[in-house]
């Protein structure tokens, strides 16, 4: 089998079998993945990137997807592999068959599992039950590839040596938790600005705070939006109602009504502050079109970089 030439210094050892949460990855490992992503982006289409020749990755998506589905399928294809989309209605993971049985069968046929599930425990069970790599393409708790794409985008705009202050505005959801984990591992200051009662799980904050002590950065939660954004390098927001929370939509819109990213809020920030969103956006709710479409917005750059960081993660796990 033909393998790409990998510069081992770019990605630190020891390697992990899976990519479930960035809390499992060190600063050097994350930096190595980002360096590989930057190289893959610059050399997109190069023949020496075909590490998946003769290999197959299966995608199991319980939740709707545009960016994640397209970028992972494109990544597998451009790395020389084959992508199989296993419709969730076909497999009914955990219902028609146990998570463990699905994993043990798949490992006999394919080389990689990419799963987007509601329960984070489903991803954990998949990874524990099989010998092939499992990539978390989003769960209710974490979205690691989104955070990596954000980190690559920040590197492009501010430089790899920068230590941005990230202020996440909105719900303490899976994206918030993953950005918090990224910040803790990379030594970035991180503040969540949210209404009381919408923080991430206490265990996530605790784990990130423990990592942050070692990397000498701060992890904080504020319910005062204007005060929270004063030192921000990057503002980040997401929808107020995530997939699976639709019944809470009206309650959440009321709770988050004062946490919109708009022109008035940016008046309290540095003139050079960047703004991002994981998309899709509910324009006019968590962010206005004026800001999302502005020169300060890096949301589409981040969406583009999903492809490159996911390629880099696959390189990391399968090379």
Catalytic residue among 69, 278, 285, 315: 278
> Using CA of residue 197, residue 201, residue 203, residue 206, what is the dihedral sign?
negative
As a whole number of angstroms, the distance between CA 185 and CA 179 comes to: 10
Backbone angles phi, psi at 220, to 5 degrees: -140, 160
Is 130 among the catalytic positions?
Answer: no
Is 27 among the catalytic positions?
Answer: no
Catalytic residue among 36, 252, 277, 306: 306
Is 146 among the catalytic positions?
Answer: yes
Catalytic residue among 55, 67, 69, 143: 143
What does DSSP assign to residue 82? E
* Cβ(84)–Cβ(57) below 8 Å: yes
Catalytic residue among 55, 146, 252, 269: 146
* Cβ(188)–Cβ(211) below 8 Å: no
Catalytic residue among 69, 140, 238, 252: 238
Is 116 among the catalytic positions?
Answer: yes
What does DSSP assign to residue 84? E
Element (H, E) at 162: none
* Cβ(52)–Cβ(79) below 8 Å: yes
Is 238 among the catalytic positions?
Answer: yes
Query: CA neighbours within 13 Å on the CB side: how many for 180?
Result: 29
Q: What does the block give as tokens for 16? A: 């992990």
Strand 189-193 to strand 112-116: parallel, antiparallel, or no bridges (unpaired)? Answer: unpaired
Is 143 among the catalytic positions?
Answer: yes
Distances (CA, A) of 11 to 26, 29, 31, 33, 305: 10, 5, 8, 6, 18
As a whole number of angstroms, the distance between CA 3 and CA 185 comes to: 30
As a whole number of angstroms, the distance between CA 188 and CA 181 comes to: 10
List 168's β-bridge partners, or say none: 192, 236
Helix axes 67-78 and 299-318, enclosed angle (nearest 10): 50
As a whole number of angstroms, the distance between CA 52 and CA 84 comes to: 14
Catalytic residue among 36, 55, 111, 116: 116
* Catalytic site positions: 116, 143, 146, 238, 278, 306
């Amino acid at each position: 089998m033909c393998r790409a030439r990998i510069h081992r210094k770019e990605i630190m050892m020891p390697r992990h079998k899976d990519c479930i949460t960035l809390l499992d990855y060190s600063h050097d490992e994350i930096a190595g993945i980002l360096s590989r992503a930057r190289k893959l982006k610059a050399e997109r289409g190069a023949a020496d990137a075909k590490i998946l020749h003769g290999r197959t990755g299966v995608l199991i998506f319980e939740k709707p997807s545009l960016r994640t589905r397209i970028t992972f399928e494109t990544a597998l294809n451009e790395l020389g592999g084959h992508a199989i989309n296993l419709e969730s209605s076909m497999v009914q993971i955990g219902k028609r068959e146990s998570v463990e049985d699905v994993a043990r069968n798949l490992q006999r046929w394919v080389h990689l599992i990419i799963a987007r599930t509601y329960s984070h425990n489903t991803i954990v069970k998949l990874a524990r039950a099989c010998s092939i790599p499992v990539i978390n393409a989003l769960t209710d708790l974490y979205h690691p590839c989104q955070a990596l794409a954000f980190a690559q985008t920040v590197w492009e705009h501010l430089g790899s040596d920068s230590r941005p202050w990230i202020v996440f505005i909105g719900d303490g959801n899976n994206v918030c938790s993953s950005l918090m984990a990224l910040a803790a591992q990379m030594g970035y200051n991180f503040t969540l600005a949210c209404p009381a009662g919408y923080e991430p799980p206490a265990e996530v904050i605790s784990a990130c705070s423990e990592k942050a002590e070692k990397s000498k950065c701060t992890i904080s939660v504020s319910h005062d939006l204007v005060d929270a954004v004063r030192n921000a390098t990057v503002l980040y927001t997401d929808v107020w109602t995530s997939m699976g929370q639709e019944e809470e939509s009206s309650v959440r819109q009321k709770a988050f009504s004062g946490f919109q990213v708009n022109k008035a809020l940016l008046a309290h920030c540095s003139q050079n502050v960047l703004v991002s969103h994981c998309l899709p956006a509910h324009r006019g709710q968590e962010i206005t079109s004026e800001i999302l479409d502005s020169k300060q917005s890096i949301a589409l750059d981040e969406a583009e970089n999903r492809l490159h960081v996911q390629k880099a993660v696959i390189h990391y796990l399968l090379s």
